[in-house]
Structure 1
Amino acid sequence: MRSTFGGIEISKRGILTQQAALTTAGHNVANANTPGFSRQVVKMVASEPIEALSFNRSTIPGQMGQGVQFTEVKRIREAFLDKQYANENKSLGEWTVRQDTLEKLEAIINEPSNTGLRQVLDNFWNSWQELSKQPDNLETRAVVKESALAVTDAFNHAAKQLNDLASDLNDNITVKVTQVNTTLKQIAGLNNEIFRVEGLGNNANDLRDQRDLLVDELSKVINVSVQEESGGYRVKMGNQDLVVASTATEFDENTVASAYPADLNSGELYGLVLSNQRYVTEYKNQLNSMVSTIVTSVNTAHKEGYTLQDPPTKGGDFFAPVTDFSTAAATFKVSANITDNVENIAASSKTYFDASGVEHVVKGNNELALKMAGIKNQKYNFDGSGVTKIILNGGTFDEFLRAVVSEIGVQTQEAQRQVSNQKILVDQVDARRQSVSGVSLDEEMADMIKYQHAYNAAARSLTTFDEMLDKVINSMGMVGR
């Protein structure tokens, strides 16, 4: 004979299980807009059935079901999509930084425009052309001096902006290093907490969501790979372990220096280092090379002519000589002899002797002024001073600057294209993740109605069994009394 109270137990299990399902659905709805949240479901299974008691095997046919129970509250998550998201997200982070840097470089070079380097250089060469028309005029010499000062100011300003950009990139590297270090410590802490909770037989679903969200954020900053082990996530960057169980390796700028570019090969931090070491340094070198060549060519030609001084005096350095290639653009300036006295600007290349045998400058001669103006159209092998990449050799100054501008433009377009493509890929993968892990309010509301009906039915079943027991306990055996 089976237990008279078995039906009450079955109904009770049904009520508790459906109540758990309703609570979980409510939890999902409440977190529908929570970043990183994965929807959760109650895993229901039929309780183990029992046979009627007997010494050997019961002769009563079949087994009696014991209702329902839930074994776990499980979050819906697909690890494959998480890995895909991390892979695409790191590339998006890298190219976003590269695009930002290149767009700032375009603004610094500011070409083509009416106020950029090309324009001030053209004004400088044109001032010599004007001087050739009035080679003995002090006012035209003053124009040459002012044009030269405008050239040096333009290159000084561009060099300062490049240095400022390099400083900004270094500051951002420091910020990102701090962010990574903080995130790694949080992941290690969650590893420890999840291990503790799940060691007691529970599912730490919400803690796991928090940990996965941190990994998502980290994947945009550095290239990380994640492997789940018994102690939690093992987080690696290339071949370097960053988090093992509850221990996080200290992440600092020395780590970045040693890891780049072998282990640190993608993400925002990689983009910052690459932008500083490649783009900014490269264009500093281009400007320094151009300035170095301008100084050498102008000074060499200027020394061949004569100033307005009497007795005849050879022209000296027009620009201050370059003493350090790495700071050529930043320290580019007009020689003090020129700024102090415009008569020291050489325009003539001829002298003559008067009746007394005294040598004088032919002040109306314009050969040197024309030669200085003609430097604009001469082709040069630009001095790279050991720099491995000089963008153009065997070209004019204008062609060199055009080549620099063109390369920045092409690189910026490529970065913009890569960012656009990566955004599409990241959005696609995230959409697929949301289709698996995201909360659908319509689906949750439908489930809540389903669980509510099941809960009500189980409660009604309990009431029925209660009435049956009341009849057995209080009414049976009362006949004839």
Structure 2
Amino acid sequence: MRSTFGGIEISKRGILTQQAALTTSGHNVANANTPGFSRQVVKMVAAEPIEYPGLQRSTIPGQMGQGVLFTEVSRIRETFLDKQFANENKSLGEWTVRQDTLEKLEAIVNEPSDTGLRQVLDNFWNAWQELSKQPDNLETRAVVKESALAVTDAFNHAAKQLNDLTSDINDNISVKVTQVNSTLKQIANLNSEIYRVEGLGNNANDLRDQRDLLIDQLSKVVNVTVQEEPNGYHVRMGNQDLVVGDTPTDFTTDMATAAYPTDLNSGELYGLLYSNAAYVTGYKNQLNSMVSTIVTAVNDTHKQGYTLQNPATKGGEFFSPVTDFSNAALTMKVSSNITDNVENIAASLRVDPATNKVIKGNNELALKIANIKNEKYNFDGSGVQKIILNGGTFDEFLRAVVSEIGVQTQEAQRQASNQKILVDQVDARRQSVSGVSLDEEMADMIKYQHAYNAAARSLTTFDEMLDKVINSMGVVGR
């Protein structure tokens, strides 16, 4: 005779399993908006059936089922999509930083505009042109001086802004290095905790979600590859180990600089280092080359002429000579002789040999300096970096620099936009697998609720049967 107590055990297992499923669905719903959370499911299996004993075999047909058991609570996660996300995310981080830097450079260059370097330089050449019409007029000379001061101010300001941008990038590099270091330590700690929890036979689902979220964040900053090993995630950047088990690498700015651009070849940190080296330093070099050429050309020409002083006096340096190419734009200034006395501005190439006095009405030098605008020059990069244009005028050179920045910015914007689309697509695919669907969870909760109620009703039925057997059987006729 089959035991009624077996039915009670089956009902109990049903209640406990459906209760676990309901609790897991509630956990999913509660974390529907939690970043990095992966949907969890209860894995149910039929309990091992039993066969009634007999001499050789049971005479009762079939085996008796023993209800349901849940073997584990597991998370739904696709490793391939995680790796694809990290791969696309690092490129998004790199191009986002490069785009940001180039847009800041465009704002510094401020071309084309009515207040940019080109306009200031045009005003300077035009002032010399006006001086050629009245070479002995002090007011016109004052205009030349003021326009020259405006040129030096414009170049000084642009150079200072570039230096400030370099400082901002260096500060951001330090922030990113600190962020990476902190993330590596958290991953190592989670490796240790997950190893402990799963060593006891449990699934550390929520801890694994936290660790994967940290990997997602890290992948945007530096290019990382992740390999799961028995003691946790083994995180690498190129050939450099960042996390091995519960041991993180002490990530520093020097380490990042040394790894660039071999092991560190993508991500926000790479983008910052690249932007500083290729964009900001490059534009500084172009600017310094232009200033150095302007100063040399104007000074060499100015020294050929004569000032308003008598006896005839040769014009000296119009701009202070460049002594440090790397700071040419930052230190550019008008010679103190010019700022102190506009009569020291040379405009004439003629001297009366009889009196040794300058012919003040002569305008040849003023015209010659004004014509520098149309002369072609070989711009010297001082070996720092390749110059964008050689054999062109100052206006052509500046146009070429502005065009290059514009093209680079447009390309960075296109790449960043494309990468954002790719990252969003991969993340959408991940969410379709791992994300929580509230509609699906609600439907599951109703399903588990009905199963729980049915198991409880079954338990009540078996309880009533046992009550009948225990309290009512054998008392007939009493």
**Class of the TM-score when normalised by the shorter of the 2 chains:** over 0.9
Q: Which amino acid aligns with 1:471?
A: K
Q: Which residue of 2 aligns with 1:156?
A: 156
Q: Which residue of 2 aligns with 1:289?
A: 289
Residue from 400, 411, 415 that aligns with 2:397: 400
Q: Which residue of 2 aligns with 1:4?
A: 4
Aligned residue for 1:329, secondary structure, equals: helix
Aligned residue for 2:223, secondary structure, equals: coil
Q: How many angstroms apart in 2 are the aligned matches of 1:52 and 1:30?
A: 45
Q: Which amino acid aligns with 2:51?
A: E
Q: How many angstroms apart in 1 are the aligned matches of 2:76 and 2:93?
A: 27
Task: Select between 459-468 and 170-179 the one with higher mean Cα deviation.
Answer: 459-468
Q: Which residue of 1 aligns with 2:265?
A: 265
Question: What is the RMSD computed on CA atoms of the aligned residues?
Answer: 0.9
Shift in Å at residue 267 of structure 1?
0.7
Shift in Å at residue 55 of structure 1?
4.7
Q: Is the 8 A contact 2:4 2:462 kept in 1?
A: no
Q: Where in structure 2 are the equivalents of 1:333-348 lying within 5 Å?
A: 333-348=333-348
Q: Which residue of 2 aligns with 1:199?
A: 199
Q: Which amino acid aligns with 1:448?
A: M
**Cα deviation code 1:325-373 (max 9, x no counterpart):** 100000001111111111111111011133xxx3111111111110000
Q: Which amino acid aligns with 1:441?
A: L
Residue from 397, 410, 415 that aligns with 1:413: 410
Q: Where in structure 2 are the equivalents of 1:436-451 lying within 5 Å?
A: 436-451=433-448
Q: Where in structure 2 are the equivalents of 1:41-56 lying within 5 Å?
A: 41-56=41-56
Q: Which amino acid aligns with 2:115?
A: T
Aligned residue for 2:42, secondary structure, equals: strand
Q: How many angstroms apart in 2 are the aligned matches of 1:320 and 1:438?
A: 66
Aligned residue for 2:74, secondary structure, equals: strand
Task: Select between 305-314 and 279-288 the one with higher mean Cα deviation.
Answer: 305-314
Shift in Å at residue 476 of structure 1?
1.8
Q: Which residues of structure 1 form unaligned runs of 5+?
A: none
Shift in Å at residue 478 of structure 1?
2.0
Q: How many angstroms apart in 1 are the aligned matches of 2:460 and 2:303?
A: 113
Shift in Å at residue 136 of structure 1?
1.0
**Would you say 1:138 and 2:129 are equivalent positions?**
no
Aligned residue for 2:145, secondary structure, equals: helix
Q: Which residue of 2 aligns with 1:116?
A: 116
Q: Where in structure 2 are the equivalents of 1:451-466 lying within 5 Å?
A: 451-466=448-463
Q: Which residue of 2 aligns with 1:280?
A: 280
Aligned residue for 1:328, secondary structure, equals: helix
Q: Is the 8 A contact 2:282 2:385 kept in 1?
A: no
Q: Which amino acid aligns with 2:475?
A: M
Q: How many angstroms apart in 2 are the aligned matches of 1:193 and 1:457?
A: 39
Q: Which amino acid aligns with 2:387?
A: I
Q: How many angstroms apart in 2 are the aligned matches of 1:200 and 1:247?
A: 22
**Would you say 1:472 and 2:469 are equivalent positions?**
yes
Shift in Å at residue 388 of structure 1?
3.1
Q: How many angstroms apart in 2 are the aligned matches of 1:113 and 1:465?
A: 89
Q: How many angstroms apart in 2 are the aligned matches of 1:163 and 1:448?
A: 60
**Would you say 1:105 and 2:105 are equivalent positions?**
yes
**Would you say 1:432 and 2:417 are equivalent positions?**
no
Shift in Å at residue 54 of structure 1?
3.3
**Would you say 1:301 and 2:301 are equivalent positions?**
yes
Task: Select between 324-333 and 57-66 the one with higher mean Cα deviation.
Answer: 57-66
Aligned residue for 1:330, secondary structure, equals: helix
Question: Post-superposition, which runs of at least 4 consecutive aligned residues in structure 1 deviate over 4 A?
Answer: none
**Cα deviation code 1:114-143 (max 9, x no counterpart):** 011001100100011011011111111111
**Cα deviation code 1:170-191 (max 9, x no counterpart):** 0000001001100110011011
Residue from 345, 355, 364 that aligns with 1:367: 364
Q: Which residue of 1 aligns with 2:250?
A: 250
Identity over the aligned pairs, expressed in percent? 85
Q: Is the 8 A contact 2:289 2:380 kept in 1?
A: yes
Q: How many angstroms apart in 2 are the aligned matches of 1:55 and 1:135?
A: 131
Q: Which residue of 2 aligns with 1:71?
A: 71
Q: Which amino acid aligns with 2:417?
A: S
Q: How many angstroms apart in 2 are the aligned matches of 1:388 and 1:252?
A: 28
Q: How many angstroms apart in 2 are the aligned matches of 1:250 and 1:2?
A: 67
Shift in Å at residue 62 of structure 1?
1.2
Q: Which amino acid aligns with 2:227?
A: Q
Aligned residue for 2:45, secondary structure, equals: strand
**Cα deviation code 1:299-332 (max 9, x no counterpart):** 1101111111111111111111101110000000
**Cα deviation code 1:256-284 (max 9, x no counterpart):** 01110001111111111111111000000
Shift in Å at residue 159 of structure 1?
0.1
Q: Which amino acid aligns with 1:138?
A: L
